[in-house]
Amino acid sequence: MSTPSLLILPGDGIGPEVMAEVRKIVDWFGKKRDLAFDVSEDLVGGAAYDAHGAPLSDATMARAQEADAVLLGAVGGPKYDDLDFSVKPERGLLRLRKEMDLFANLRPAQCFDALADFSSLKRDVVAGLDIMIVRELTSGIYFGEPRGIVQEGNERVGVNTQRYTESEIDRVARAAFELARRRGNKVCSMEKANVMESGILWREVVTKVHAESYPDVELSHMYADAGAMQLCRAPKQFDVIVTDNLFGDILSDCAAMLTGSLGMLPSASLGAPMANGRPKALYEPVHGSAPDIAGQGKANPIACILSFAMALRYSFDKGEEADRLERAVEAVLAQGARTPDLMGPEGGAPISTTEMGDAVLDALDASL
């Protein structure tokens, strides 16, 4: 097989800082595990706007379509706040997701034992947590038409439309049930069928997919607002949560805090299988460009590092190497390495982004 290609899009703010650590880890797998990647880098978000006047050039879009996997840092920042909506950094990321048809966004939230005391919730509530949020990523209110800001009489109206087709719900539900079979065999579907027609259809289709193809998996339904409450009250009741684009965005930031920090949460955005049987895929941390800490060496690179572990697992069929990387992260945390976001109330001396990357490399060396 030819060397698999990996397109790296560091983006803005802390994106390039955390991605520099991932580059070291990608190189480590090439040198020490004979797992070479054909790595190339390109621009996305504000960085692409500065260079080309657009948050994603057509050339970069084409390269992303060709790559075996794409790894993205983060986009956005205050410098771009006043840009026209059509060229905002976030539009670049949304274009990648939409045109690559990455409909299933896997957002695992795992609480490493060493961090159980750093969550804002009690240790007992989060220790041992291992849940997977499957967020629909290419439809819903993020993309529905009509949309815009329109004049109605003497005032303006902001319009967005929540819209889901049966096939869009069907395919993300299947992704969730498939994952559940390889985990705790439970799916909880979240919508607001009590107030939204799209929620009624969502519940109907998930129920049908379950009955027809996955009766062996335990299925429950919850209104998304109650789901948010349950995520904070007793998150370990969940295994896989499947939900729409907007609820998934919000619930996954909420789940991030169960693990100790938003800087810990990786994600995989997966589409349909390509000719080689692998899914189209983009790997991205759940966090953003963190303008408040950008350029200060304070960013936690673990979310981005764990996103690369997900790439090893879902794009390159290297589950054991993904486990190795995840265990290295766990070991580093157990040894007490902490970026500032992971400092508990008792304080201590935090390490920098680069030092955290180096510590993971040392732990990888120790795993051989």
Q: What is the Cα–Cα distance from 130 to 83, expressed in whole angstroms?
A: 39
The DSSP bridge pattern shows strands 104-110 and 144-152 to be unpaired
Q: What is the Cα–Cα distance from 26 to 33, expressed in whole angstroms?
A: 10
Comparison of 35 and 246: residue with beta carbon closer to ligand NAD: 246
Report the largest interatomic distance among the alpha carbons of the chain, rounded to a whole angstrom: 69
Within 10 Å of residue 259's Cβ, how many Cβ atoms?
Answer: 26
Comparison of 68 and 249: residue with beta carbon closer to Mn ion: 249
Question: In the set 27, 50, 90, 170, which binds ligand IPM (CB under 6 A)?
Answer: 90
94 makes contact with ligand IPM (CB under 6 A) = yes
Within 10 Å of residue 349's Cβ, how many Cβ atoms?
Answer: 7
Active site residue 318: no
Q: What is the Cα–Cα distance from 356 to 69, expressed in whole angstroms?
A: 24
**Among ligand NAD, Mn ion, ligand IPM, none, partner that 94 touches (CB below 5 to 8 angstroms by kind):** ligand IPM
The single residue of 12, 192, 283, 341 carrying the catalytic annotation is: 192
Active site residue 249: yes
Comparison of 14 and 121: residue with beta carbon closer to ligand NAD: 14
Phi-psi region of 77 (alpha: psi -120 to 50; beta: other; left: phi over 0): left
**Residues 91-130 vs ligand NAD: string with x where CB under 6 A?**
--x-------------------------------------
Residues 245-304, interacting with Mn ion (CB under 5 A): 249
Residues 3-32, interacting with ligand NAD (CB under 6 A): 14, 18
Taking CB under 6 A as the binding criterion, the range among 31-39, 149-157, 188-196, 283-291 that sits at the site for ligand NAD is 283-291
99 makes contact with ligand IPM (CB under 6 A) = no
Minimum distance between the CB of residue 358 and ligand NAD, rounded to whole angstroms? 16
Active site residue 164: no
CA-closest candidate to residue 106, choices 310, 278, 280, 247: 310
CA dihedral of residues 268, 273, 276, 280 (deg, nearest 10) = -40
The single residue of 249, 283, 314, 318 carrying the catalytic annotation is: 249
The DSSP bridge pattern shows strands 130-136 and 240-243 to be parallel
Q: What is the Cα–Cα distance from 280 to 268, expressed in whole angstroms?
A: 10
**Among ligand NAD, ligand IPM, Mn ion, none, partner that 263 touches (CB below 5 to 8 angstroms by kind):** ligand NAD
232 makes contact with ligand IPM (CB under 6 A) = no
249 makes contact with ligand IPM (CB under 6 A) = yes
Q: What is the Cα–Cα distance from 136 to 247, expressed in whole angstroms?
A: 9
DSSP-assigned states of every residue in 255-323: HHHHTT-GGG---EEEEEE-TTSPEEEEE--SS---TTTTTTT----HHHHHHHHHHHHHTS--HHHHH
The single residue of 253, 323, 358, 362 carrying the catalytic annotation is: 253
Annotated binding site for substrate: 97, 107, 135, 225
75 makes contact with ligand NAD (CB under 6 A) = yes
Annotated binding site for Mg(2+): 225, 249, 253
Comparison of 245 and 289: residue with beta carbon closer to ligand NAD: 289
- Would you tell me the crossing angle of helices 302-314 and 353-366 to the nearest 10 degrees? 40
Minimum distance between the CB of residue 241 and ligand NAD, rounded to whole angstroms? 19
Note the residues at the interface with ligand NAD (CB under 6 A): 14, 18, 74-77, 90, 93, 262-263, 284, 287-293, 299-300, 303, 341
- Which positions are annotated as active-site residues? 142, 192, 225, 249, 253
